[in-house]
């Protein structure tokens, strides 16, 4: 069972550590001992019988953790080999290094020495952690490349070395490239995950991520703008002022709720023979709990939409929306899926000034990217749901920064890009992918990691997501919450269905996800995470 948690940037983590030390909560040495103990403990949990281990120690405090791991595994009967850099480390790491030197020797951290040892055994990567500022080079780069090639059982201390923990990028490597970087079986990180553990290459390179408690809870008063991560498989964050929403099915606002108090979603569809995408959105909006859903194609395409589901209402909307929007009960609009770019542009010109809660997806995003006046009319009740291609059309400079090979840390991240985009356009931006980042204009952000459901990348999945978010907006959830909960339910629906999923299955899985959420909420008052099997 995983719980949602906050993600801290490396700067925030350093601030917390400094505060802990400054207030006398813990010394640096104690924190390092706890960090090393946590890693050694995880290793012994996985390999209970002592065996050979090679600990690779870098020049900073990450290396200091490595010397602690070496000492504790030696004490537990392991056959420990240590390779380390010969620089003078900071005082805490120096102390840990001396303690190890009282037990065993330190061989130079070079590829030749590493290859010269007996093969096999567990490897511990304690070369670089949060202090990585530039791409590894020379001997260290050669060692990391070698580890990526031979793939030994590898335990990473805080992160696989070379990974930028703020972005999930490998410094010095083109984005997305990392075939020969170390792939850890398990990464033991401290106190809280960092963005790089859950976005970019992080999930690929970290393996199983274990967050170890090193006693920093009492000083957790990090600076502002903390993103909350929403983990798979499913969870409800707690103790957070910006916690994701409670299940709208349980939200009984008026005394005698009726369908209109559950909102009325309008899904704007496109011309003849292109209505499938909008129907998927409409079905998802209905299933997620909008009181009413109206599908609105142009008159000539209305006949395309006869048939199931009967719960869906249909009405023709041709070129203008003002008359339709005069019905103020229409409180959430979805525009884009299968809409056609020209039609989306024309309708947006009416829609955006009305300042109704709106999801803009697909063709609506392309229309936006072609018309600066439309972009200027975006407002804080809008949710934009671009994939990376659409994002690049809307925010080319941000996409370019995100695509550039990072030469120094902290590298520009998907989290930075979504936040910058949201601040710039004044709307919630949901940047899709296996690592979906959702950001609000005020800097609040959520990461939803769905690397475990690659089958969600299927045609029409985005249309279903747009519909889910629209349905939640109709239920009066604020835009950031609707986008977050929609993303969560979307991925969980895919997870429950399993491989073989097509987008049509997603709306049909929603009841099962909602039932689990409802059961959890009625039994535990949002205090603990939902166990999902």
Ligand X SMILES: NC(=O)C1=CN([C@@H]2O[C@H](COP(=O)(O)OP(=O)(O)OC[C@H]3O[C@@H](n4cnc5c(N)ncnc54)[C@H](O)[C@@H]3O)[C@@H](O)[C@H]2O)[C@@H](O)CC1
Ligand Y SMILES: Nc1ncnc2c1ncn2[C@@H]1O[C@H](COP(=O)(O)OP(=O)(O)O)[C@@H](O)[C@H]1O
Residues that bind ligand Y (CB under 6 A): 387, 432-434, 436, 450, 453-454, 456-457, 459-463, 465, 490
Q: Return the structure tokens found at 93.
A: 């790491």
Contact of 83 with 114, CB cutoff 8 Å: yes
Q: Closer CB to ligand Y, residue 81 or residue 419?
A: 419
Out of 80, 157, 163, 415, the only residue in the binding site for K ion (CB under 5 A) is: 157
- To the question of whether residue 436 is assigned a binding role by annotation, the answer is yes
Q: Closer CB to ligand Y, residue 47 or residue 455?
A: 455
Tell me how far apart the alpha carbons of residues 176 and 179 are, in angstroms, rounded to a whole number: 9
Tell me how far apart the alpha carbons of residues 344 and 358 are, in angstroms, rounded to a whole number: 13
β partners of residue 430: 438
**Is there binding between residue 157 and ligand X (CB under 6 A)?**
yes
Q: Return the structure tokens found at 236.
A: 């409800």
Q: Closer CB to ligand Y, residue 201 or residue 465?
A: 465
Q: Closer CB to K ion, residue 161 or residue 476?
A: 161
Q: Closer CB to ligand Y, residue 92 or residue 463?
A: 463
Tell me the three state secondary structure of residue 466.
Answer: helix
- To the question of whether residue 185 is assigned a binding role by annotation, the answer is no
- To the question of whether residue 87 is assigned a binding role by annotation, the answer is no
Shortest reach from residue 170's CB to ligand Y, in Å: 19
Partner whose footprint covers residue 150, from K ion, ligand X, ligand Y, none (CB < 5 to 8 Å by kind): none
β partners of residue 292: 264
**Is there binding between residue 106 and K ion (CB under 5 A)?**
no
- To the question of whether residue 336 is assigned a binding role by annotation, the answer is no
- To the question of whether residue 291 is assigned a binding role by annotation, the answer is no
Q: What angle do CA 221, 226, 229 make, to 5 degrees?
A: 120
Partner whose footprint covers residue 454, from K ion, ligand Y, ligand X, none (CB < 5 to 8 Å by kind): ligand Y
**Is there binding between residue 161 and K ion (CB under 5 A)?**
yes
Q: How far is CA 63 from the centre of its chain?
A: 28
Tell me the three state secondary structure of residue 500.
Answer: coil
Out of 131, 207, 433, 434, the only residue in the binding site for ligand X (CB under 6 A) is: 131
Q: Return the structure tokens found at 32.
A: 């390092």
Describe the strand order of the beta sheet including 208-212 as a list of residue ranges: 107-108, 79-84, 52-57, 122-126, 154-157, 186-190, 208-212
Judged by CB under 5 A, the number of residues near K ion is 4
The beta strands (E) that lie in 74-201 are given as 79-84, 107-108, 122-126, 154-157, 186-190
Out of 78, 100, 190, 395, the only residue in the binding site for ligand X (CB under 6 A) is: 190
Shortest reach from residue 164's CB to ligand Y, in Å: 21
Out of 84, 135, 195, 270, the only residue in the binding site for ligand X (CB under 6 A) is: 135
Tell me how far apart the alpha carbons of residues 341 and 508 are, in angstroms, rounded to a whole number: 29
Shortest reach from residue 280's CB to ligand Y, in Å: 8
**Is there binding between residue 35 and ligand X (CB under 6 A)?**
yes
Q: How far is CA 358 from the centre of its chain?
A: 23
- To the question of whether residue 426 is assigned a binding role by annotation, the answer is no
CA dihedral 124, 162, 403, 455 (to 10 degrees): 0
Contact of 134 with 409, CB cutoff 8 Å: yes
Q: Closer CB to ligand Y, residue 74 or residue 183?
A: 183
- To the question of whether residue 458 is assigned a binding role by annotation, the answer is no
Partner whose footprint covers residue 65, from ligand Y, K ion, ligand X, none (CB < 5 to 8 Å by kind): ligand X
Contact string 59-98 vs ligand X (x = CB under 6 A): xxxxxxx---------------------------------
Closest to 288 (Cα-Cα) out of 53, 35, 525, 475? 475
Q: What angle do CA 311, 313, 316 make, to 5 degrees?
A: 160
Partner whose footprint covers residue 460, from K ion, ligand X, ligand Y, none (CB < 5 to 8 Å by kind): ligand Y
Closest to 125 (Cα-Cα) out of 86, 82, 90? 82
**Binding piece for K ion, criterion CB under 5 A, among 88-96, 152-160, 165-173, 315-323:** 152-160
| Count of C-beta atoms within a 10 Å radius of residue 308 | 8
Tell me how far apart the alpha carbons of residues 430 and 417 are, in angstroms, rounded to a whole number: 11
- To the question of whether residue 263 is assigned a binding role by annotation, the answer is no
**Is there binding between residue 133 and ligand X (CB under 6 A)?**
yes
The percent helix, strand, coil of the chain (3-state, each to 5) is 45, 15, 40
**Binding piece for ligand X, criterion CB under 6 A, among 123-131, 252-260, 273-281, 328-336:** 123-131
Helix axes 461-474 and 505-524, enclosed angle (nearest 10): 40
Binding residues for (6S)-NADPHX: 61-65, 129-135, 158, 277, 338, 387, 463
Site residues (vs K ion, CB under 5 A): 125, 156-157, 161
Binding residues: 61-65, 125, 129-135, 158, 161, 277, 338, 387, 432-436, 462-463
Binding residues for AMP: 432-436, 462
Site residues (vs ligand X, CB under 6 A): 17, 28, 31-32, 35, 58-65, 128-136, 157-158, 190, 214
């Amino acid at each position: 069972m995983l719980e949602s948690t906050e993600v801290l940037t490396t700067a925030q983590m350093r601030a917390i550590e400094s505060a802990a030390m400054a207030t006398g909560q813990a010394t640096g040495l104690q924190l390092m001992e706890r960090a090393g103990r946590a890693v050694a403990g995880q290793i012994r949990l996985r390999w209970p019988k002592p065996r050979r281990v090679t600990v690779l120690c870098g020049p900073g405090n990450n290396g200091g953790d490595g010397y602690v791991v070496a000492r504790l595994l030696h004490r537990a009967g392991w056959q420990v080999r240590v390779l380390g850099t010969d620089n003078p480390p900071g005082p805490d790491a120096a102390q840990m290094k001396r303690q190890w030197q009282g037990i065993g020797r330190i061989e130079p951290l070079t590829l030749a020495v590493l290859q010269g040892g007996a093969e096999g055994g567990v490897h511990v990567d304690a070369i670089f952690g949060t202090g990585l500022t530039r791409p590894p080079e020379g001997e260290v780069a050669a060692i990391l490349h070698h580890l990526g090639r031979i793939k030994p059982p590898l335990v990473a201390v805080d992160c696989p070395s070379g990974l930028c923990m703020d972005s999930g990028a490998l410094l010095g490597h083109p984005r997305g490239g990392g075939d020969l970087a170390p792939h850890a079986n398990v990464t033991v990180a401290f106190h809280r995950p960092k963005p790089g553990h859950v976005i970019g290459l992080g999930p690929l390179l970290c393996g199983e991520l274990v967050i170890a408690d090193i006693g920093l809870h009492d000083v957790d008063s990090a600076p502002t703008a903390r993103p909350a991560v929403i983990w798979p498989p499913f969870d409800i964050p707690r103790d957070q002022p910006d916690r994701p929403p409670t299940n709208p099915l349980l939200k009984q606002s008026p005394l005698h709720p009726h369908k209109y108090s559950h909102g009325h979603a309008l899904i704007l569809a496109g011309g003849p023979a292109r209505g499938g995408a909008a129907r998927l959105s409409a079905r998802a909006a209905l299933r997620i709990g909008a009181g009413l859903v109206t599908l609105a194609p142009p008159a000539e395409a209305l006949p395309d939409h006869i048939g199931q589901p009967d719960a869906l209402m249909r009405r023709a909307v041709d070129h203008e929306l003002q008359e339709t929007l005069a019905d103020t009960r229409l409180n959430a609009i979805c525009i884009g899926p299968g809409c056609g770019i020209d039609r989306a542009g024309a309708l947006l010109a009416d829609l955006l000034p009305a300042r109704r809660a709106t999801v803009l997806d697909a063709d609506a995003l392309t229309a936006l990217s072609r018309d600066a006046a439309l972009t200027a009319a975006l407002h804080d009740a809008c949710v934009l749901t671009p994939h990376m291609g659409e994002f690049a059309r809307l925010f080319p400079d941000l996409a370019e920064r995100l695509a550039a090979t990072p030469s120094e840390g902290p590298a520009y991240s998907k989290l930075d890009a979504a936040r910058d985009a949201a601040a710039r356009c004044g709307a919630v931006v949901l940047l899709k992918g296996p690592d979906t980042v959702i950001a609000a204009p005020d800097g609040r952000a959520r990461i939803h990691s769905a690397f475990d459901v690659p089958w969600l990348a299927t045609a029409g999945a985005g249309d279903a997501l747009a519909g889910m978010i629209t349905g939640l907006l109709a239920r009066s959830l604020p835009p950031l919450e609707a986008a977050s909960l929609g993303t969560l339910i979307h991925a969980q629906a895919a997870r429950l269905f399993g491989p073989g999923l097509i987008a049509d299955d997603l709306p049909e899985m929603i009841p099962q996800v909602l039932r689990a959420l409802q059961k959890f909420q009625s039994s535990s008052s949002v205090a603990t995470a939902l166990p999902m099997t």
